[in-house]
Chain A
Amino acid sequence: MLDSLLSLGGLVLLRDSVEWEGRSLLKALVKKSALWLVYHDFFRDPLNWSKTEEALPGGPLGALRAICKRTDPGPVTIALDSLSWLLLHLPCTTLCQALHAVSHQDSCPGDSSPVGKVSVLGLLHEELHGPGPVGALSSLAQTEVTLGGTKGQASAHILCRRPRQRPTDQTQWFSILPDFSLDLQEGPSVESQPCSDPHIPPVDPTTHLTFNLHLSKKEREARDSLILPFQFSSEKQQALLRPRPGQATSHIFYEPDAYDDLDQEDPDDDLDI
């Protein structure tokens, strides 16, 4: 599914983060689909600070809009690295309108010359933007690929929205080879999981003690069957609610000896009256 993303057309949103970068996948997809590559270099001077004549008018947005006016009948893939840069420098509405105009070129009515399918592949660093702009671009996208992964293995969660069909989603594990070709995988590879060192066995701390910490079977049973004195069990509750008849109440038997003086008014015998 990952290698046929661009065949569906429309806007393909590639959402990455600092932890799982998407530029390698963008390059891999471009390499896979491109037969003829036109490279617009906006890296050196995106804001036209050098004021040279060779700069395209309107900057990156102007270049994007110029693609709308093309009359080439073949299918076209436009890769944008990155949408985040455009979103930081342009109003969100302007960008969304431009992307909509570009990616829906092939469905323009009243156009005499048929234009081939247009796919727009945009890289978005989702941690840079708030939920509003990300949500707006997400709703514009026919396909959304969110990059993630686990234990050093990258995955792409692909959400596909086809017209008049239920959206489909799947997760594809992949890796990008040094020559930017895409290597699809079944799942996170076992070697990449950290395994404990097999040479060091787990140490039992109770082996070399001078006192015995182990319990025999009888002792263990006695311990398990012990009821704690302040634990409120159902038997105790019943005993308190219904005192059994014939239960002996306690008596105190007192025999005073010669020195005892049971004077209730002066029990300690220290009043000097």
Chain B
Amino acid sequence: MFVELNNLLNTTPDRAEQGKLTLLCDAKTDGSFLVHHFLSFYLKANCKVCFVALFQSFSHYNIVGQKLGVNLTVARERGQLVFLEGLKSAVDVFFQTQEEPHPLQFLREANAGNLKPLFEFVREALKPVDGGEARWTYPVLLVDDLSVLLSLGVGAVAVLDFIHYCRATVCWELKLRILWRRPSQPTAQRDQSLTYQYKIQDKSVSFFAKGMSPAVL
């Protein structure tokens, strides 16, 4: 996780907010560093994380995660991380028979209907385990990213319904935090809106006020 970003957002892993939906948007640039930041942030906060990764492979996130101080393989083995590797499991939809609908079942349908199987995967992954002691602080859903769903033919209304159900069931019932990434659309900010510029280095990101000259940095 990037400490400077934590300072800007005024959070630390031990006092992060619950029950919130955060949308990460990028336009004409790559905002994937934010996904890596939040993934490592919530793993360090000892949260149960469900990561629907449609954009990159597991090893990619693992390599970047190691630079940020988290080991995804270990997290997955001990049950902290539930990882849906979209790139790999999409093939399973076609070549393996499933009893229950596969989370990416919409790939098989002529009209990509709805994302109910994906929602049920998320709900199943994040529901609290009965009988065991509470090992994890609170559940987090991370989706990277929604534009892949749109590219695969899922309608915008279906994606909105999926977000709605995730919010309603998961944010309200289970009090967790959802993070998404989607293609940028213009949104007006009524509440406090802060703009910064950033520069990505090898293992960190530095943020600075808008308009600073490159000679000063």
Contact = CB atoms under 8 A, between A and B. Distances in A.
A44 B168 contact: yes
B108 interface: no
Contacts of B169: 44
A45 B167 CA distance: 11
A49 B187 contact: no
A43 B170 CA distance: 12
Most B CB atoms within 10 A — which of A17, A18, A21, A89?
A18
Interface string B127-164: 00000000000000000000000000000010011001
A21 B190 contact: yes
Contact of A47 (B161, B172, B188): B161
B114 interface: yes
Contacts of B160: 88
B61 interface: no
B58 interface: no
Contacts of A46: 161, 164
A44 B161 CA distance: 11
Contacts of A89: 157
A19 interface: yes
Interface string B110-128: 0000101001100000000
A88 B157 contact: yes
A19 to B, nearest CB: 4
Contacts of B157: 88-89
Nearest to A44: B168
B168 A43 contact: yes
A82 to B, nearest CB: 12
B180 interface: no
A79 to B, nearest CB: 19
B2 interface: no
Given A43-B168, A88-B157, A89-B157, A49 B190 contact: no
Nearest to B119: A49
A21 B169 CA distance: 24
B106 to A, nearest CB: 14
Interface string B175-217: 0000000000001101000000000000000000000000000
B165 interface: yes
A37 to B, nearest CB: 20
B2 to A, nearest CB: 29
B129 to A, nearest CB: 20
Interface string B67-88: 0000000000000000000000
Contacts of A44: 168-169, 172
Nearest to B161: A47
Nearest to B120: A49
Contacts of A88: 157, 160
Contacts of B120: 49
Nearest to A88: B157
Interface of B: 114, 116, 119-120, 157, 160-161, 164-165, 168-169, 172, 187-188, 190
Q: Which 8 A-B pairs have the closest CB atoms?
A: A19-B188, A18-B188, A88-B157, A44-B168, A49-B116, A43-B168, A18-B187, A47-B161
Given A19-B188, A49-B116, A49-B165, 16 more contacts: A17-B188, A18-B190, A19-B190, A21-B190, A43-B168, A44-B168, A44-B172, A45-B168, A46-B161, A46-B164, A47-B116, A47-B161, A47-B165, A49-B120, A88-B157, A89-B157
17 contacts: A18-B188, A18-B190, A19-B188, A19-B190, A43-B168, A44-B169, A45-B165, A45-B168, A46-B161, A46-B164, A47-B114, A47-B161, A47-B165, A49-B116, A49-B119, A49-B165, A88-B160
